[in-house]
């Protein structure tokens, strides 16, 4: 039977491209969305034109009960989950001293707690199958930190810690856990930057360009096909941060 993948936050941006590329590689895709139902339906329709069928499932993955329902949907329909891509995320651009407890809860729950609960929900099935691949989409800022994005940086650093520790715990069950840490990728997440600011950022990047969603999707595909990489944080950033 085809491999089964859950991709969180697949209605837009990086997650959408990952969903598309995996679906085109004969992987059964369950594309999660929360608010962007129209975009999720458009993705499903677009793929249907190529005779590729995916499932789209609404769930706010920052909430345990909704994450649980998303995983149950996959297990009831396909009986197994081979791949989990924890991609859903939000950014937050604020002075640290202005951050509130509500900001902390929103950013940490959406970016980090979601990876914790989604992983917990899928792992029993992966252990049973003695096989699995978990990919966390973290960020360059989780490695080097970003001014005005302290909560975001904390959430992504947490994801990288989760990746490394879980890889050690799950290695004996043949479950690989890795992070991809993108630099600046052209998506709606970066709409907060003006054209001029984006040009300035480009000048700081050795490859002199902003990344494309396909740059991340290609790495996801490679990590799925690989069988000896685990516990790694793979930076894809055009050389913006070389650590
Ligand atoms: P985006 O275009 O803003 O898309 C974010 C996606 O996450 C949307 O599909 C959104 O779904 C989903 N999402 C947000 N909160 C959710 C929730 N509670 N439950 C379910 N889905 C939720 O962002 P992106 O640039 O593609 O970012 C994708 C991931 O890459 C994020 O984790 C981000 O931190 C990371 N990243 C991005 C960049 C970059 O430069 N773009 C750089 C480094 C890391 P709905 O719209 O349906 O709610």
189 lines ligand 1 (CB under 6 A): yes
Tell me how far CA of residue 91 lies from CA of 25, 54, 60, 113, 192, in angstroms.
Answer: 30, 27, 16, 15, 10
pLDDT (tens digit, 9 = 90+) per residue, 155-183? 999 999 999 999 999 999 999 999 999 99
- Is 90 exceeded by the pLDDT of residue 44? yes
Confidence at residue 121, expressed as pLDDT on a 0 to 100 scale: 98
237 lines ligand 1 (CB under 6 A): no
How many other CB atoms are found less than 10 A from the CB of residue 80?
Answer: 17
Confidence at residue 199, expressed as pLDDT on a 0 to 100 scale: 96
pLDDT, mean over the chain: 98
**126's tokens:** 């992966």
pLDDT (tens digit, 9 = 90+) per residue, 218-243? 999 999 999 999 999 999 999 999 99
Confidence at residue 1, expressed as pLDDT on a 0 to 100 scale: 82
pLDDT bucket at 147, cuts 50 / 70 / 90? very high
pLDDT bucket at 190, cuts 50 / 70 / 90? very high
- Is 90 exceeded by the pLDDT of residue 69? yes
CA of 11 to the centre of ligand 1 (A): 9
Any catalytic annotation for residue 113? no
CA of 172 to the centre of ligand 1 (A): 31
Mean pLDDT, range 129-146, rounded to an integer: 98
pLDDT (tens digit, 9 = 90+) per residue, 99-110? 999 999 999 999
Sheet holding 55-58, edge to edge: 55-58, 28-33, 4-7, 83-86, 132-137, 175-182, 233-236
% of the chain residues with pLDDT over 70: 100
Give the residue from 174, 98, 104, 194 showing the smallest Cα distance to 133: 174
Measured from the CA of 210, which atom of ligand 1 is nearest? Answer: 40
Pocket test for ligand 1, best of 9, 105, 179, 201 (most atoms within 8 A of CB): 9
- Is 90 exceeded by the pLDDT of residue 202? yes
Pocket test for ligand 1, best of 35, 89, 213 (most atoms within 8 A of CB): 89
155 lines ligand 1 (CB under 6 A): no
Helices of type H across 24-108: 37-48, 64-78, 101-108
- Local structure of residue 189 (DSSP, 8 states): G
153 lines ligand 1 (CB under 6 A): no
- Is 90 exceeded by the pLDDT of residue 115? yes
pTM score above 0.95: yes
């Amino acid at each position: 039977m085809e491999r089964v993948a859950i991709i969180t936050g697949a209605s837009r941006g990086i997650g959408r491209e990952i969903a598309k590329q995996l679906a085109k590689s004969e992987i059964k895709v369950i594309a999660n969305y929360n608010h962007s139902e129209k975009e999720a339906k458009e993705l499903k329709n677009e793929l249907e034109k190529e005779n590729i069928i995916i499932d789209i499932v609404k769930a706010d993955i920052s909430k345990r009960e909704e994450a649980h329902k998303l995983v149950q949907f996959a297990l009831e329909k396909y009986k197994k989950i081979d791949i989990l891509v924890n991609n859903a995320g939000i950014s937050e651009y604020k002075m640290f001293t202005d951050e509130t407890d509500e900001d902390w809860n929103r950013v940490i729950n959406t970016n980090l707690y979601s990876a914790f609960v989604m992983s917990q929900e899928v792992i029993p099935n992966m252990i049973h199958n003695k096989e699995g691949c978990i990919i966390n989409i973290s960020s360059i800022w989780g490695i080097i930190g970003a001014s005005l994005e302290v909560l975001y940086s904390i959430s992504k650093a947490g994801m990288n810690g989760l990746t490394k520790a879980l890889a050690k715990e799950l290695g004996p069950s043949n479950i690989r856990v890795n992070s991809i840490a993108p630099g600046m990728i052209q998506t709606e997440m970066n709409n907060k930057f003006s054209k001029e600011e984006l040009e300035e950022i480009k000048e700081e990047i050795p490859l002199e360009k902003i990344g494309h969603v396909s740059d991340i999707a290609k790495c996801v595909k490679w990590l799925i096909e690989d069988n000896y990489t685990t516990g790694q944080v793979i930076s894809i950033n055009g050389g913006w941060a070389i650590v």
